[in-house]
Structure 1
Amino acid sequence: MDEMHRRTGDAARPNTALTRRKILAASAGAAAALGAAGLPVLQTAGPATAKGTWRVDPLIPEQNRGIILYAVRDRISAAPDDSGVPYGFERVLARLAEMGYKEIEFAGYTQNTAILGRQITPAEIRKILDDNGLVANGTHASIRADTFQQQLDIAEELGMKNIGTGSDPTNSAYQSDWDAAADLWNELGRQAKERGMRLYTHNHDAAYNFLLDSGPLDANGKPTRSSGIRKLEYFMAKTDPKYVFFEMDIFWGYVARYKHTKYINSAGRERTDIFDPILTVARRPKRFPLFHAKDGDKNTAVPNGYDMVPLGDGDINFQQFFQTIGEYDFHHANWEQDTAPGGAANPGQSLAFAERSYRHMAELSIYRED
Structure 2
Amino acid sequence: MNKRRDFLKASGALALTTLFRPSDIFADSLAKKPIGLQLYSVREDMSEDPQGTLRMVSSIGYKSLETANYADGKVYGMEPVFFKNYIQDLGMKLRSAHVGGPRSYDPAKKDEALDWWKKAAADHKIMGAKYLIKPSMPIPTTLKELDVWCEYYNAIGEITKKSGLLFGFHNHAREFESIEGKIMMDHMIAYTDPKLVCFELDVYWAQKGGQDPVEYLEKYAGRFPVLHIKDEEEIGASGTLDFKAIFEAAYKQGMKDYFVEVERYNFEPLESVKQSFDYLNKASYVK
- Specify the TM-score bucket, using the shorter chain as the normaliser: 0.7 to 0.9
Matches within 5 A, 1:13-92: 62-63=33-34, 65-78=35-48, 87-89=49-51, 91-92=52-53
Name the amino acid aligned to 2:200: E
Report the CA distance between 1:162 and its aligned residue: 0.6
**Cα distance in 1, alignment partners of residues 254 and 176 from structure 2:** 26
Secondary structure of 1:73's partner? helix
> 1:188: which partner in 2?
156
On the 8 A contact 2:168/2:198 being kept in 1, the answer is: yes
Report the CA distance between 1:61 and its aligned residue: 7.6
Q: CA RMSD in A?
A: 2.5
Bigger radius of gyration: 1
> 2:82: which partner in 1?
124
Q: Which deviations, in whole Å up to 9, do the C-alpha atoms of 1:321-359 show, x marking residues without a partner?
A: 1113333874311111112496xxxxxx11111111001
On the 8 A contact 1:71/1:340 being kept in 2, the answer is: no
Say whether 1:277 aligns with 2:213.
Answer: yes
**Cα distance in 2, alignment partners of residues 309 and 341 from structure 1:** 7
Say whether 1:337 aligns with 2:273.
Answer: no
On the 8 A contact 1:166/1:202 being kept in 2, the answer is: yes
Report the CA distance between 1:105 and its aligned residue: 0.2
Report the CA distance between 1:93 and its aligned residue: 1.7
Secondary structure of 1:326's partner? helix
Report the CA distance between 1:8 and its aligned residue: 6.9
Secondary structure of 2:187's partner? helix
Say whether 1:245 aligns with 2:180.
Answer: no
> 2:107: which partner in 1?
none
> 1:148: which partner in 2?
117
**What is the count of residue pairs matched by the alignment?**
249
Q: TM-score, normalised by structure 2?
A: 0.79
> 1:98: which partner in 2?
59
Describe the shift of the 1:189–1:61 C-alpha distance in structure 2 as closer, same or farther (beyond 3 A): farther
Report the CA distance between 1:127 and its aligned residue: 0.9
Q: Which deviations, in whole Å up to 9, do the C-alpha atoms of 1:292-343 show, x marking residues without a partner?
A: 1111xxxxxxxxxxxx21012122111111113333874311111112496x
Higher relative contact order (CA 8 A, sep 6+): 1
Richer in helix (by share): 2
Name the amino acid aligned to 2:86: I
Report the CA distance between 1:289 and its aligned residue: 1.4
Say whether 1:327 aligns with 2:252.
Answer: yes
> 1:314: which partner in 2?
238
Name the amino acid aligned to 1:161: K
**Cα distance in 2, alignment partners of residues 231 and 328 from structure 1:** 21
Describe the shift of the 1:241–1:364 C-alpha distance in structure 2 as closer, same or farther (beyond 3 A): same
Report the CA distance between 1:166 and its aligned residue: 1.2
> 2:4: which partner in 1?
none
Describe the shift of the 1:329–1:133 C-alpha distance in structure 2 as closer, same or farther (beyond 3 A): farther
> 2:171: which partner in 1?
203
Describe the shift of the 1:152–1:176 C-alpha distance in structure 2 as closer, same or farther (beyond 3 A): same
**Cα distance in 1, alignment partners of residues 216 and 32 from structure 2:** 22
Secondary structure of 2:118's partner? helix
Secondary structure of 2:100's partner? coil
**Cα distance in 1, alignment partners of residues 145 and 266 from structure 2:** 36
Report the CA distance between 1:5 and its aligned residue: 6.2
**Cα distance in 2, alignment partners of residues 231 and 175 from structure 1:** 8
**Cα distance in 1, alignment partners of residues 175 and 54 from structure 2:** 31
Runs of 5+ in structure 1 lacking a partner? Answer: 10-59, 79-86, 111-117, 214-225, 258-274, 296-307, 343-348
Q: Which deviations, in whole Å up to 9, do the C-alpha atoms of 1:181-215 show, x marking residues without a partner?
A: 1111111111211211100111100001112x2xx
Secondary structure of 2:198's partner? strand
Match of 2:189 among 236, 242, 256: 236
Secondary structure of 1:147's partner? helix
Percent identical among aligned pairs is 22
Q: TM-score, normalised by structure 1?
A: 0.62
> 2:92: which partner in 1?
134
On the 8 A contact 1:8/1:351 being kept in 2, the answer is: no
Describe the shift of the 1:130–1:209 C-alpha distance in structure 2 as closer, same or farther (beyond 3 A): same
Match of 1:291 among 204, 227, 249: 227
**Cα distance in 1, alignment partners of residues 97 and 188 from structure 2:** 21
Describe the shift of the 1:357–1:2 C-alpha distance in structure 2 as closer, same or farther (beyond 3 A): farther
**Cα distance in 1, alignment partners of residues 94 and 131 from structure 2:** 9
Runs of 5+ in structure 2 lacking a partner? Answer: 1-12, 22-30, 102-112
Describe the shift of the 1:61–1:243 C-alpha distance in structure 2 as closer, same or farther (beyond 3 A): farther
Describe the shift of the 1:119–1:135 C-alpha distance in structure 2 as closer, same or farther (beyond 3 A): closer
Match of 2:274 among 345, 348, 355: 355
Secondary structure of 2:169's partner? strand
